[in-house]
Chain A
Amino acid sequence: MEKELLEKGQGNFGDVMIVGGGISGIQAALDLGTAGFKVYFVEKSPTVGGKMAHLDKTFPTNDCSMCIESPKFVECKRHPNIEMLTYSEVEKVEGEAGDFTVTVVRKPRYVDETKCTGCTVCVEYCPVKYPDQFNQGISNNKAIHIYFAQAIPLVTYVDDSCLYLKEGKCRVCEAACKTHAINFDQKPERMEIKVGAIILSPGIEPFDARVREEYHYGDFVNVVNALDYERLLCATGPYEGEILRASDRKHPHNIAWIHCVGSRQVTEGGNSYCSAVCCTYTQKQVILTKDHDDGARCTIFHNDIRSYGKDFERFYQRTENLPGVRFIRSYVSIEREDPVTKNVTVRYSTPDDGVKEEEFDMVVLSVGLAPPANLKGIADAFGIELNSHGFCKINPANPLLTTRPGIFVSGAFQGPMDIPESVLSASGAGSLCGEILSYRRGNLSKERVYPEERDVSGEEPKIGVYVCHCGANIGRIVNVPETVAYSLSLPNVVHAEESLFICSTEAAAMLAKDIEERGLNRVIVAACTPRTHEPLFRDTLREAGINQYYYDMANIREHCSWVHSKEKEAATQKAKDIIRMSVARSCHLEPLQEFDLPVDKRALVVGGGISGMTSALSIAKQGHEVWLVEKEKELGGMVRKLHYTLEGLDVQAFLKDLVAKVYNHPMIHVYTGATIPEATGYVGNFVTKIESSRGTAEIKHGATVVAIGADLYTPTEYLYGEDDRVMNHLELEERIAAGDEKVIGAKSAVMIQCVGCRNEERNYCSRICCSESIKNALLLKERNPDMDVCVLFRDIRTYGFKEDYYREAAGKGVRFIRYEPDKKPLVEPGKAEDGRDVLKVTAPDYVLGKGIELDADLLVLAAAIIPSAASQEVSKLFKVALGPDGFCQEAHVKLRPVDFAAEGVYLCGTAHYPKLMSEAISQAYGAAGRALTLLANDTVVASGSVCAVNEKQCMGCGACAPACTYNAIELRETKQGRKAEVIPVLCKGCGLCNSKCPTGAIQLKHYTDEEIFSQILAGLHKGDIMEQQDEAVGNA
Chain B
Amino acid sequence: MSSEGQFKPKMLGIICNWCCYGGADLCGVSRFQYPTYIRLIRVMCSGRVDLKHILLAFANGVDGMFVGGCHINDCHYNPEGNYDAMSMVNLCKKLLEHIGINPKRLRLEWVSAGEGIRFANIMNEFAREIEELGPLGKSEGLETAELNARIEKMAKLVPYIKLEKMEKLALHDINGDYTKLYTSEEIDGLIREAPSYWIDPDRCQACMTCARRCPADAVISAKNQVHVIDQDKCIRCGTCLAACPERFGAVTKIVGEPVPPPLPEEKRAIVRKGKEGAGESSPVAG
Contacts and interface: CB of A to CB of B under 8 A. Distances in A.
B97 interface: no
Contacts of A998: 158-160, 162-163, 235, 237
B162 A578 contact: no
Contact of A957 (B39, B74, B213, B237): B237
Interface in B80-112: 81, 84, 88, 112
Interface in B149-177: 158-160, 162-163, 166, 169-170
Interface stretch (A209-217, A447-455, A560-568, A810-818): A560-568
B47 A562 contact: no
A849 interface: no
A1017 B56 contact: yes
A995 interface: yes
Nearest to B74: A881
Contacts of B84: 963, 992, 995-996
- Per CB-CB distance, the 10 closest pairs between chain A and chain B, nearest first, are A558-B28, A991-B48, A998-B159, A562-B28, A570-B36, A990-B45, A990-B77, A999-B215, A998-B162, A1019-B39
Contacts of A1020: 10, 12, 57, 60-62
A983 interface: no
B166 A995 contact: no
Contacts of B48: 990-992, 994-995, 1004, 1007
Contact of B39 (A581, A875, A1007, A1013): A581
13 contacts: A291-B31, A555-B25, A879-B74, A884-B114, A901-B18, A945-B44, A963-B84, A963-B170, A977-B243, A988-B77, A992-B79, A1015-B41, A1016-B57
Nearest to A580: B39
B170 A996 contact: yes
A288 B215 CA distance: 58
A611 B66 CA distance: 42
Interface string A961-997: 0111110000000001100000000001111101111
A564 B36 contact: yes
A253 interface: no
A876 interface: yes
A957 B161 CA distance: 13
A953 interface: yes
Given A882-B114, A995-B48, 18 more contacts: A62-B29, A62-B30, A530-B42, A555-B25, A560-B28, A574-B37, A879-B76, A884-B114, A952-B215, A959-B169, A962-B170, A988-B78, A995-B47, A999-B235, A1001-B215, A1012-B43, A1012-B53, A1020-B10
A113 interface: no
B170 A1017 contact: no
Contacts of B22: 531, 901
Interface residues of A, number: 76
B120 A995 contact: no
A559 interface: yes
A889 interface: yes
B26 to A, nearest CB: 8
A997 B84 CA distance: 13
A564 B34 CA distance: 7
Given A876-B74, A1013-B53, A1020-B12, A566 B79 contact: no
B79 A563 contact: no
A889 B36 contact: no
B121 interface: no
A959 B159 CA distance: 11
B78 A680 contact: yes
A1013 B55 CA distance: 11
Contacts of A577: 39
A265 interface: no
Contact of A563 (B18, B33, B61, B163): B33
A558 B25 contact: yes
Interface in A42-101: 61-63
Nearest to B22: A531
Contacts, number: 207
A954 interface: yes
Contacts of A555: 25, 40
Interface string B1-23: 00000000010101001110110
Interface in A529-562: 529-531, 555, 557-560, 562
A879 B53 CA distance: 27
Interface centre among B17, B45, B235 (most CB of A within 10 A): B45
A804 interface: no
Contacts of B18: 901
Interface string A1003-1029: 010010100110111011011000000
Contacts of A955: 213, 215, 237, 239
B268 interface: no
A925 to B, nearest CB: 26
B169 A1016 contact: no
A714 interface: no
Interface string A943-959: 00100000011110101
A573 interface: yes
Given A558-B25, A567-B36, A999 B45 contact: no
**Max chain B Cβ within 10 angstroms of own Cβ: one of A531, A566, A962:** A531
B78 A881 contact: no
B112 to A, nearest CB: 6
B203 interface: no
Given A959-B162, A1009-B52, A559 B40 contact: yes
Contact of A881 (B36, B77, B113, B166): B113
A902 interface: yes
A1022 B58 CA distance: 12
Contacts of A1004: 44, 48
Nearest to A563: B28
Contacts of B239: 955, 977
Contact of B81 (A567, A957, A992, A999): A992
A883 interface: yes
B73 A876 contact: yes
* Listed residue (B24, B39, B73, B120) with the most chain A CB atoms within 10 angstroms of its CB: B39
B88 A995 contact: yes
A409 interface: no
Contacts of A962: 170
Contact of B31 (A563, A901, A1000): A563
A571 interface: yes
Interface centre among B10, B24, B120 (most CB of A within 10 A): B24
Given A884-B114, A995-B48, A1020-B62, A571 B36 contact: yes
B49 interface: yes
B178 to A, nearest CB: 15
